[in-house]
Amino acid sequence: MVSGKYKSRSLRKVFRRTPGSKVVVHYRKKKPKNARCANCGSILKGVPRENPSKMKNIAKSKKRPSRGYGGNLCSKCAKQKIIEDARQ
């Protein structure tokens, strides 16, 4: 029987085959949802889907696009925001 901490649905099951050709179950944390645009809610491209413990080891340039509002707004919304700011 599995231990109590593995009975919740907060962990996902990963089936692994051992060298002795036995299938065992490993329990891993689920990945977080995709990053979304703050304006329109579309999925952001170029932003990895990783747990915070893995994100801290990734270089800053790999975490988000290096353009203005990168990692916060999608490219279309960022373009509109830059145009609006220039007009004011």
Q: Structural domain of residue 54, as residue ranges?
A: 4-87
Distance CA 39, CA 88 (A): 19
Q: State in Å, rounded, how far the first CA of the chain is from the last one.
A: 65
Q: What is the pLDDT of residues 14-52, one digit of tens each?
A: 999 999 999 999 999 999 999 999 999 999 999 999 998
Kindly report the pTM of this predicted structure. Answer: 0.72
For the chain, the domain total comes to 1
DSSP conformation class of 17: E
Euclidean distance between CA atoms 70 and 67, whole angstroms: 5
| Residues whose CB is less than 8 angstroms from the CB of residue 20 and which lie 6 or more positions away in sequence, other chains included | none
